[in-house]
Amino acid sequence: MSDTPSKTFPKRIFSGIQPSGGLTLGNYLGAIKRFVTAQDEGIETIYCLVDLHAITVWQDPAKLRHATRELAAGYLAAGIDPARSILFNQSQVPAHAELAWIFNCVARMGWLRRMTQFKDKAGKHAEEASVGLFAYPNLMAADILVYFATHVPVGEDQKQHLELARDIAIKFNHDFGVDFFPVVEPVIEGAATRVMSLRDGTKKMSKSDPSDQSRINLTDDADAIAQKIRKARTDPEPLPETIEGLEGRAEARNLVNIYAALADVTPGQVLSAHGGKGFGTFKPALAELAVEKLSPLNAEMRRLMQDPAEIDRLLGQGADRAHAIAQPILEQTLDIVGMIRSRGAGSGSGR
C-alpha cells in the first residue's frame, strides 16, 4: 500500500490561534489577514480559537476568557465573516481532544522530542513542563484532521508541527491499512510569514516577549503604533534598491516586509518606491500606513468587545457547525481503531 492516500479530498482550510494574550502584528500579517483572503476566495474555511492549546502553560481563567473573546473580536474585525467561515473555540467541540488521544497513541516520543517549540517553551525546565505542552502537536494534528482539512495557512514557526501532522496521518493510514486521513499541505507564503521583533531583527515578534516595545499589539492606539515604529531598531544606512541589498540587515528587511504585507505589494515593490531613502523618511511612511490599516481594526475590536454575549453566541453557533463535521469523522476513526460504538440505535459498523 502506498503511504500517500489516493482518496481525493475537497480543498478545506483550517487554522488556529491561541487565545493566550493579545494579538500582535505578527499574528495579523502572518495568519489572520491571510485567513480573510482565503475566505474571500470562496474556499471552505474553518478557524479555531485553540483554548485547549493555551492551557498547556498556565492561564488565569478570567484572563483566558477575556483573551478568547478578544481574539474572536480580532478575527471578526479583520473580516472573518461567521456566515462564510466557521469560527469557534476548540473546547466547545470535544472531538478535538478525543482524536488527540488517539494521536497520542500514534505519534512516537522521539518525534515529539524533536519539536523545537517545546524545547524553546520548556527551556531548561523540561521536567516541570506540563505533559500537555509536550503532546501539544498531537492536539494540533487532531484539530486539522478531524475536519479532513487539506490546507493550513500558518506562520513559518508552525512548519515543524505541520510536518508532524503529516507524519501522524501517514502512520495512522499505514498502521490501520486505510486510506483515511489526508496529508495536509502547509501554506506558508507572503512577505510576513515571520514578522520579527522591533527591538531585535533576529527574534520573532511575539506576544510573550517581555518588552512591549518589541511588538505592535492590535489593541495599540495610533500614537503607540507610530511611537513603536519610530523607535524600532534599524541601522544607519539608507534602504537598498534591491532585495539582495537587505542581506545581513535583519531589521531593515523586517520593516520592508511589514510595509509590503500591510500594503499588499511585494518587498521588491517597496524597495522600488523607497530605495535610497533613509529611515528618517521611511519610518514615518510605514507608521502612517500601519495606523491607516490597523486603526479601523482596533476600533472595530473595541466595539465588538462591548457585547461579549454576542461574541459567545457567534462562537456557539460556529461550534455547532464544527461539531457537525467533526463528530462523524471522529466516529469513523474510533471504528477503524476497533472501539465499539453502540450508543444509539444501530450506530456500530458491525465489524
Interface ranges with ligand TRP (CB under 6 A): 14-18, 50, 53, 140, 143-144, 152, 154, 158, 161
Amino acid in position 93: V
Sign of CA dihedral 315, 142, 119, 34: negative
Q: Are 27 and 17 in contact (CB under 8 A)?
A: yes
Does the active-site annotation cover 121? yes
160/327 with CB nearer ligand TRP: 160
Does the active-site annotation cover 277? no
> Alpha-carbon distance 258 to 264, whole Å?
10
Which residues of this chain interact with ligand AMP, rule CB under 6 A? 17-18, 26-27, 30-31, 154-155, 157-158, 192-195, 204-205
31/262 with CB nearer ligand TRP: 31
Alpha carbon of residue 74 to chain centroid: 13
> What letter does residue 14 receive in the DSSP assignment?
E
Question: Which of ligand AMP, ligand TRP, none interacts with 193 (beta carbon under 5 to 8 A by kind)?
Answer: ligand AMP
> Alpha-carbon distance 31 to 175, whole Å?
33
Question: Which of ligand TRP, ligand AMP, none interacts with 13 (beta carbon under 5 to 8 A by kind)?
Answer: none
The active-site residue, picked from 204, 228, 283, 293, is: 204
Question: Which of ligand AMP, ligand TRP, none interacts with 152 (beta carbon under 5 to 8 A by kind)?
Answer: ligand TRP
Q: How far is the CB of 336 from ligand TRP (least distance, A)?
A: 22
Question: Which of ligand AMP, ligand TRP, none interacts with 134 (beta carbon under 5 to 8 A by kind)?
Answer: none
Does the active-site annotation cover 33? no
Q: How far is the CB of 131 from ligand TRP (least distance, A)?
A: 17
Sheet holding 151-153, edge to edge: 85-89, 44-49, 12-17, 151-153, 185-187
Positions annotated as catalytic residues are 121, 204, 207
